[in-house]
Structures are given as structure tokens and as C-alpha cells.
Structure 1
Amino acid sequence: MQKNRKFVDLIEKFFPYRSKLAKVTKIPILNSIVKKMLFEKTNLTILPKDKIVEINLNKKVPVPESIVLPSKIVEHFIKKSSYRFIMNFCICRESMDCKNYPKDLGCLFLGEAAKGINKEFGYEATKEDALKHVEKCRDLGLVHLVGRDVIDEQWLGVYPGEKLMVVCNCCNCCCLWRILPDMDKDMGLVVKKMPGVELEVTDKCTGCGKCKDICFVKAIKIEDGVAKISSECRGCGRCAEICPNQAIELKINNKDFIENTIKRINSSVDVT
């Protein structure tokens, strides 16, 4: 059933308490229920910023003009999509009254199920509109989170879920998925880094802690005066971008990382 603005307002009242609510996933009796309702079919991938990939690849060898960057994944699905809907608000930033990024730059939804989204929430977009929207989001420093998200299907009230792909434009300060450190660890694996993407701390690290502060999943700690990145890292690359000493490097260990990401997304959602 299509949801209205009153329902969204209700969600926004509870949103600031999302980390506390996420902890229920660690309660055995509730874990399986929540997983089946919201996470069993969720499959999301975080895309590192293009410029972080370019900068880090350039440290090794000059990057050819033909290099395929993460944003091409979003472009691929936009061009392939049968229908596109741009939200006129970001529920995360609106809920948290974000002071760092625009609240009116919302998610982009792709696929036939997006036709069911309440038109009060945004507008149908051409492929050109959608491409401009995601480019604007990237230019402002937002990070794409893409794939199928059952939570979106629920709060928007649209189905079938396998026909609804989301392109979130996330900030580190308000993103829903800041709940990952508070969730059941296995359940949190529905949000993944791109295949082949790794972040490594070099000997340039001075332990300033800027990377630790910006990590939205608390995957970085300062130990013995240097940053340590744990396996909880989702590969967004914000730490590499903010480091004043360029001490964190993003590495791509899989030459087919773009193709493999597209295959992963295609396995759970169809935008045609």
C-alpha cells in the first residue's frame, strides 16, 4: 500500500533512535523475525567516490582515459532502467536535520515498482534528469549506496521488491546505515563493499584520528599511534579523502570489479 506524508513524518520521529532500535537484531528471539521482514532479500553495495579511485590509481601508474570508475555502475543502471523516480527529500537528512548536506537531494529509484511511489515524494525523471541528479550528488561529496533495500519497499509501500533498485546518496553524518555497528554482525553483511576494493594504512599515518571520526561504520581505531582499519570497513573511501597526509590508500585487487558489482546487483533486482 502506497504510503503518505503522515507515515513519513512518523518514521522521522523515530529515526534518531535507529541505533537503539538496531540492537534488537542481537536478541535471538527477534533476530530471525527482523531478518525475514527487512534484511533477507536486501543486497546493497557502497561505491567509493570516483576521485578517490582516480587519485589512488594514479599513485601507481597514470590512469588511462578509458578507466571505468564506480559511477559508471550507476550510469549503467540508469540507462538500462524502464522507469526512474527522484525523491524531493532525503529521509535520513530530513530526520536528522542535516547541517552539512542538502536535505532535498533524495534517493533515485529505478525500475517498474518505482511507479507506485507517492508523487508527493518526488517526480518521474528522464534518464538525463537522473544522470544529472546523481552527478550533482557526487559533486557535493555524497556517496552512492546501490542495490535492493527491503526497508525502502516497506516505508514507500511499493512492490514487487525485485523491481525496485535504489541509488542512495549518502552522507556520513545522517545515513541510516550508521546502525551497522549496533546490528547483528551477520545481518549487517547485507551492506557490502565493492568486490576487490581494499583500504590500507601506510607508514605516513601520524594517528591524527580524522579517519576514525569520519568512518560511518566505526571500522577505524587508533592503536599504538596509528590508524587500524578493521574488516567492518565498507570501502566508501572517505577516510582516504580526508587524511591530511594521504596515508590511506584505496586499492583495487580485482580488475573485473565493475562487472562483478553489476552482476551482484542484477542478482537481486531488475530495473528493466
Structure 2
Amino acid sequence: MSRRPEWWFGVLRLYWPLNTLGAKMTRWPVVGRLLSLIVVPLFTKDNFNISYIPVNARIEPVVSSALCGKILEELVRRSAHRVIIGRCSCRDAKKCRNYPVEDSCLLLGEDTKVVDSRIARHVSVEEALEHVRNKTASGLIPMIGRVRMDDFYYGIPNRGRMLTVCFCCPCCCSVLNTLQYLPEEAKSSLVRLKGVNVKVDAGQCIQCRSCIDACFAGAIILSNGKIRHDEHQCIGCGRCSMVCPQQATSMIVENMDITVDEILGRIKARVNVESGG
């Protein structure tokens, strides 16, 4: 069993702002290059590989939460064990006023069995699925993948048997809010779901710039009177479609089966959530 007493959340709350500061410092001359030697290995390859799942993706011709539900339900049902972390360190550090701090990340896999019950609830499949439904219904954006640092935060051995599922708010999420400062090598570890694209209805768009202001990746610009989207910069979080007052921006899924198979395959290559084997 890991040893993480409840006061550990206080330690994380004090430490958490250093995530943003560290990302910003990688842009500093001299010091930034040295810091990147530490940051890049932690946030690349098998140590860090994540994807955001848009909760309102359009599987034409209807808007549906089916993509989000199918991916997360598959992972939860396959998982050997599940825990729900007691507090979200991102929201805790920023004293979030928009979303609850309590009951945050869902961790899946054999090695979550050792997580200290003072900082997490060990839950059944159905309890985990209910948690997923509640969090996505509240407007939080699911982020799933391999996050090596979480092994340390929650006292889990680094054996590749734990998958992180965060439910992120745009106001506090450390990854979303530091994305613009991360080295390019680290940015490439935020992988847009295969076959998920942004579609802008020019007839509905009033060029209010809401999507531009909301885009953490800087993937949307206004050029020659039109909203233009850079698919190479986009991380597919769906934030642009959530804030559009005209519903002119939408997330399109070309083929749900291909999208689901790709993300499940990418996870399996890095994390074994099913058993200790």
C-alpha cells in the first residue's frame, strides 16, 4: 500500500503552480535549455502520451456523446482495478469556483490497488462509470493517457499498469494552460484523436472570436474575414465548439470505430490496464 496521507493534498496544492512556472521557464534563454533537458523526457514518449476526448463530438448527422462514452466505458470495463482521487490538484491550487475540487481523476489498472485510501476511493466498475457520466455531464473535458508523474503523486510503482483519466476544466487544467509554453517535443505528446476534426459553418459564424480566445493550442485564427483552423496545432479538446454562441463550430468524427481502435491501441502500447501480466 502506498503512503499518501490526506495532508499530501496540501503538499500537491503548494507544489502545483510550479508546473506552470517550469513550463514558462523552458522559454528562458540558457536556463530554459537546461530545464528542457529535464522536462522533455518526462513529457514525451512512454512517460507522457495523452488525448483529450471532446464530449460533444458530431458523428454525422447528429451530435452525440457516444464517442466519449464508448472509449471510457471500454477502458473502465477492461480495468483490473479503479480508484477516484479525492481532490483535483489543478482546481485545488487555483481555488476553482466553477467546478468541484472533490472527486477528481479516475485511475485505472492493476497498480491502483496500492493507492492509499486516505486520498482515494476504491470503486467498482459501475461506480467508475457513474463518475464518468457525472463529470462529462458537468462540462468537464476528459483527458486520458499515460502520465508518468502520477505514479509519484499517488505512490504507485512505475510498471506501466496505471492509466490516468482526468476531467479537466479550462480555467484550471495545468496541461491546457501551460500548452503554449511547452517545448515542441512535449507538445507532440498531446495527440489529437484520429479522425476527429473541427468544422466551421461559415454561414453561421459571426466572427465573434470566441473560439479563437478559447483555443489553448492557438490553432484558430481570423484571416481575410474567415475563421481558419490549423489541424496540425489542434489537440481536439472540443473547447471551440463548446463556447461558440452560434453553434457554428463543431467536432466531426469521421469513423467512430477507427477513432476508438486507435486510442485503445495507443494506450495498450504504453499501459496495461487489464491485469498484472
TM range (shorter): 0.7 to 0.9
Query: Could you say which residue in structure 2 is the equivalent of 1:91?
Result: 89
Shift of 1:161: 4.2
Q: Distance in 2 between matches of 1:139 and 1:225?
A: 34
Structure 2 counterpart SS, 1:191: coil
Equivalent residues in 2 for 1:146-225 (5 A)? 146-177=144-175, 178-203=177-202, 204-225=204-225
Distance in 2, matches of 1:52 and 1:38, equals 27
- 1:72-128 Cα offsets, whole Å, 9 max, x none, are 111011111111101121111111111111111300101111122221112100001
Q: What is the rounded CA distance, in whole Å, between the counterparts of 1:14 and 1:227 in structure 2? A: 38
Query: What letter corresponds to residue 169 of structure 1 in structure 2?
Result: F
Partner AA of 2:103 in structure 1? L
Shift of 1:140: 0.4
Q: Distance in 2 between matches of 1:142 and 1:68?
A: 16
2:13 counterpart residue number: 12
* Distance in 1 (alpha carbons) for counterparts of 2:223 and 2:159: 43
SS of the counterpart of 2:67? coil
Measure, in 2, the Cα distance between the counterparts of 1:8 and 1:86. Answer: 14
Aligned twin of 1:122? 120
Moved more, 38-47 or 78-87: 38-47
Does residue 35 (structure 1) correspond to residue 33 (structure 2)? The answer is no
Closer, same or farther: CA 190–79 of 1 in aligned 2, 3 Å: same
Structure 1 vs Structure 2 CA RMSD: 2.3
Retained in 2: the 8 A contact 1:8–1:155? no
- The percent identity for this pair of structures is 29
Partner of 1:261: 263
Name whichever of 8-17 and 151-160 sits farther off: 8-17
1:133 offset after TM fit, Å? 0.4
Question: What is the Cα deviation at residue 7 of structure 1?
Answer: 4.0
State the distance in 2 between where 1:205 and 1:186 align.
34
Greater mean alpha carbon deviation, residues 107-116 or residues 216-225: 216-225
Normalization by structure 2: what TM-score?
Answer: 0.86
How many residue pairs get matched? Answer: 264
Counterpart AA for 2:10: D
- 5+ residue gaps, structure 2, are none
Deviation at 1:17, TM superposition (A): 4.9
Q: Once the two structures are superposed, what CA deviation does each residue of 1:6-25 show, in whole Å capped at 9, x if it has no partner? A: 44323322433533311344
Q: Secondary structure at the match of 2:191?
A: strand
C-alpha contact (below 8 Å) 2:43/2:189 kept by paired residues = no
CA deviation digits over 1:58-81, x for unaligned, max 9? 2xxx68x9x952221110111111
The answer to whether the 8 A contact 2:58-2:250 is kept is: no
Give how far 1:258 is off: 1.1
Partner Cα distance (1:215, 1:105) in 2: 26
Partner in structure 2 of residue 241 of structure 1? 242
Cα distance between partner residues in 1 of 2:185 and 2:208: 31
| SS across alignment from 2:212 | helix
Deviates more, 1:89-98 or 1:8-17: 8-17
- Name the CA distance, whole Å, in 1 between partners of 2:260 and 2:52: 12
Change (3 A) 1:212 1:17: farther
- Once residues 75 and 10 of structure 2 are traced to their aligned partners in structure 1, the CA distance between those partners, rounded to angstroms, is 30
